[in-house]
Amino acid sequence: MGIPMVNPSGESTMLGQWRIVLRRAEEAARSGRFEEAGALANQPDVADHYQLVQFRNRLGPELIARADRRAAADDAQGAIDDLALAERLGAPPDLLAEARISLADHLVPEIRKDLERGEPARALARIDDLARRKISGGALRDCRELAEVWRDATDEARRGEFGRARELLDRADRLASGNVAKVLSAARVDLDARQKAAAPKVEALYAALAESDWTRALAAAEALIAAVPEHPAARRAQTEAWKRIAAIGPAASSRWPARQPSPDRGAKPDALDESSRPLAEPRTDGPNGRFLLWVDAVGGYLVCLDDRVVLGGADGQGAADVPLMGDLSRDHAAIVREGGGYRLDPRRTTFLNGKSVTDPVPLRDGDVIRLGRTVELEFRQPSPISATARLTVVSRHRLPMAVDGVLLMGETCIVGPGRQAHVQAPALDDPVVLYRQGGALWCRSRGDFEVDGRRGASRAPLTFASSVRGVGFSFGLEPLA
């Protein structure tokens, strides 16, 4: 066996190593750097030394005590982090369990505030987040039961199941106390008012369906959905009405004659000019499924028809559907439409609501997407009855074309007043709807309007270069190369 080296003080280096580590760990703990202290005390070459074992045994309870102090100072996140670190350092399980119950009791008033504001879904989300961090207790479980019953009542009311919703509210009332009980009483009053308001709308819908009056059925379904957003019969009727109305094509006289190409184009005599060809069905080969929409007195929009839209840098190569003038790759990320929803598919550095994402993640109305370090876009899906979404660049970056936003167009695109319009046009009395029909794009409006100088009634097909004028509105389409 070799002879250990001796330092100038005469102490063996191998035998004195634990003293150095212990001193550094104690200094880190006194400075509040408990994670560093634990890492030092767990070094393999000294971890089994009696003094280091004793130090680790003291470190866990000290962290638990600091968690109690942080909770008392309303630093819940700091207290949760301290308890998690104490567990990793091997703190006694009974002390940890007691501390977590105490912290849960401390957080209950904050959860009750969500319930007092009439937000059971928010309360549930916070309780679930605490449960994932092993924070639970009897008081939190009581709040969870109340919040779940209340949320279910809200969901039933949104579907028009008012009787079931009232039963659930009665059950929630038996679980509630104080200000929460008062809020539940107000919720029952609101439920009765909503049921009373919805009743004539339901009757109007079924009357229109009985007569197969699809125009009236559509209006009745939309009115009922405004009052009862998830009413299943209204949603089915709305979908069917759109199909029936769109299926009624315009008269032959309203179809646009094909314009012959100019002689110098060298095209076949029967070929259509590209600008007069009706918009094709969405394509999947990248930037081809796009056009520009210019709405007078409102703004311009890049409209993307494809189910997969690539976001990337504007390098002149045309690889990105949405080219952004920023430090991005040509295929930085993609937004994919699936059914009525969307997902973000990151390819390079991407953040969603400030959190880094590397795998596909669902998008929701109001999400903020950050590409690279600085390019930010807001995702909005304003209408619950349409899959169309809108992207707005909220950072200082811009697209090569002077547009105000990007539309990811599903089956319909609404231009009009109200929060559910994809293109906000407050001056309009009634919305104008662009929608897909067969292999073309169509326009629908309540009154008469003109397309390329030709009068249309209620609906008409559009071309790549159409100009549309009606009472109180006008807009134009422009093809993209």
pLDDT in tens, 18-33: 888 778 877 877 877 8
Q: Residue 245: its pLDDT value, please? A: 63
The CATH topology of domain 263-479 is Tumour Suppressor Smad4 (2.60.200)
Domain ranges of the chain: 13-91, 263-479
Amino acid at 393: V
Query: What separation in angstroms does the CA of 98 have from each of 103, 147, 416?
Result: 9, 25, 58
Mean pLDDT, range 199-207, rounded to an integer: 91
Residue 258 has pLDDT above 70, yes or no: no
| Cβ atoms < 10 Å from Cβ of 452 | 16
Q: What is the overall mean pLDDT for the chain?
A: 82
- In the block, tokens 């390019």 appear at 375
Query: What separation in angstroms does the CA of 412 have from each of 7, 47, 66, 444?
Result: 81, 66, 57, 10
Q: Residue 317: its pLDDT value, please? A: 65
Q: Residue 303: its pLDDT value, please? A: 95
- In the block, tokens 């339901």 appear at 202
| Cβ atoms < 10 Å from Cβ of 326 | 20
Mean pLDDT, range 139-157, rounded to an integer: 92
Q: Radius of gyration over alpha carbons of the chain, in Å?
A: 32
Identify the top-confidence range among 5-14, 186-195, 215-224, 276-285.
186-195
User: Are 18 and 49 within 8 A, CB to CB?
Assistant: yes
Residue 42 has pLDDT above 80, yes or no: no
SS3 at position 168: helix
What phi and psi, each to the nearest 5 degrees, are found at residue 349?
Answer: -55, 115
Mean pLDDT, range 165-173, rounded to an integer: 92
Mean pLDDT, range 358-365, rounded to an integer: 93
Distance CA 467, CA 172 (A): 56
User: Are 51 and 32 within 8 A, CB to CB?
Assistant: no
User: Are 392 and 377 within 8 A, CB to CB?
Assistant: yes
Per-residue DSSP letter, 462 = -
Looking at 254-263, 315-324, 389-398, 471-480, which range is the least confident one? 254-263
Q: Residue 316: its pLDDT value, please? A: 61
Q: Residue 386: its pLDDT value, please? A: 81
Q: Whose CA is closest to 136, among 83, 181, 177?
A: 83
**Token pair in block for residue 22:** 């212990």
Mean pLDDT, range 323-344, rounded to an integer: 90
Residue 347 has pLDDT above 90, yes or no: yes
Per-residue DSSP letter, 205 = H
Full-model pTM: 0.48
Q: Whose CA is closest to 45, among 24, 7, 18, 11?
A: 18
Which helix (H) or strand (E) is 447 found in, with range?
strand 440-451
Q: Residue 183: its pLDDT value, please? A: 92
Distance CA 364, CA 382 (A): 10
Cα of 398 vs its chain's centroid, Å: 23
Distance CA 229, CA 232 (A): 9
User: Are 168 and 156 within 8 A, CB to CB?
Assistant: yes
| Cβ atoms < 10 Å from Cβ of 372 | 19
**Token pair in block for residue 481:** 């190369």
Mean pLDDT, range 114-136, rounded to an integer: 90
Q: Residue 390: its pLDDT value, please? A: 96
Residue 16 has pLDDT above 80, yes or no: no
Longest dimension (CA), the chain: 108
Q: Residue 54: its pLDDT value, please? A: 80
What phi and psi, each to the nearest 5 degrees, are found at residue 479?
Answer: -70, 150
- In the block, tokens 């119950």 appear at 101
Q: Residue 363: its pLDDT value, please? A: 95
**Higher-pLDDT residue of 316, 189:** 189
Percentages helix, strand, coil for the chain (3-state, rounded to 5) are 45, 25, 35
Mean pLDDT, range 98-118, rounded to an integer: 90
Report pLDDT digits (tens) over 47-67. 778 787 788 778 888 888 888
